[in-house]
Amino acid sequence: MKKHLLLLVCLTAISSHSFARDSFKICWSIYVGWMPWAYGAEQGIVKKWADKYDIDIDVVQINDYVESINQYTAGEFDACTMTNMDALTIPAAGGVDSTALIVGDFSNGNDGVVLKGKDSLAAIKGQNVNLVELSVSHYLLARGLESVGMSERDVTVVNTSDADMVAIYGTKDVTSVVTWNPLLSEITAMPDSHEVFNSSQIPGEIIDLLVINTETLKANPKLAKALVGAWYEIMATMSGSDDAATAAKTYMADASGTDLAGYDAQLASTQMFYTPAAALELTNSDKLTSTMQKVAEFSFEHGILGDGAPDASFIGVETPAGVYGDKGNIKFRFDPTYMQMAADGKL
């Protein structure tokens, strides 16, 4: 009897990620580059591709971006939308081996530093800066400060949820924020607001991804095929110039709290990869490895590479061009396999 109980305990201790399954959950949060998941779920495109591979995929919106990643890291979701930095510092640093399945875009102006009443980044010195601490906003601030010969010692970072950012900027005491669209557009439209630095000045460093648990990916290639297939069908629709493209983008605009003109403006500051070939160009590049080194170095300096990380190379990041960091501790991977299958028409 004890042997049976021990076996049961051992089996239940093994992560469900290790087994082939037919039902999955992915989560996303509002951002211009992730709104296609809302459209794909609503229009049945995700279901169509899931049906093709005899699986079920539940697409869930989470209102708080960091919370969505925390829930993914805790195992409540199989895949989640997030940036390259947050994939490294939350799931990977937490010991959850994760893979960038879809490289969707990079921010090319969609993340920005805004000052109230001042039109120069140098004027930020001595100010409190509201942002989602230890996120890409924090990274953007650090890179911006570098560009004007300053560092974080010259400002005071105030941790603020993205859900509260627009409201707090409207208060008298808040004079500086760092955030992303659509929040950025709302804030810059307010009186006496000045965007003084944005991600177009560090192109290709803030990358937007769909990240999947690596064990889940290995055990369930059908899930990867369905997600990638659905994604590029959506991309093909929204990148057109016909009524279908307008309808798709209008839906995405409404779902993100703006109108078509507003959403088009956000797309204009996003380097979207509408084709797998475009995504593969970045994914397979040497630049990706050097970008992840910059991100890892920032993350180590801010103590977010996990407890006991001795240096920036503690976590291995695997890209097609090579590995940055510890090859014996790879926890974050860029896998071009399924995007290549899409490019080759093999999904």
The whole-angstrom separation of Cα 105 and Cα 121 is 26
Parent domain of 334 = 24-105+206-343
CB crowding 7-20: b at 16 or more within 10 Å, else e: eeeeeeeeeebeee
Residue 7 is assigned to a structural domain of this protein? no
DSSP structural state of residue 117: S
Q: How many domains are there within the chain? A: 2
Residues 226 and 311 in one domain: yes
* Residue 110: closest CA among 271, 304, 297: 271
Residue 9 is assigned to a structural domain of this protein? no
Residues 118 and 91 in one domain: no
End-of-domain residue from the set 182, 201, 220: 201
The whole-chain average pLDDT of the chain stands at: 93
Report pLDDT digits (tens) over 223-280.
Answer: 999 999 999 999 999 999 999 999 999 999 999 999 999 999 999 999 999 999 999 9
Residue 10 is assigned to a structural domain of this protein? no
Report pLDDT digits (tens) over 320-333.
Answer: 999 999 999 999 99
Residues 174 and 215 in one domain: no
Q: How many residues appear in the chain?
A: 347
End-of-domain residue from the set 178, 201, 224: 201
Residue 10 pLDDT: 37
Lowest mean pLDDT among 2-6, 79-83, 109-113: 2-6
| CATH number, position 185 | 3.40.190.10
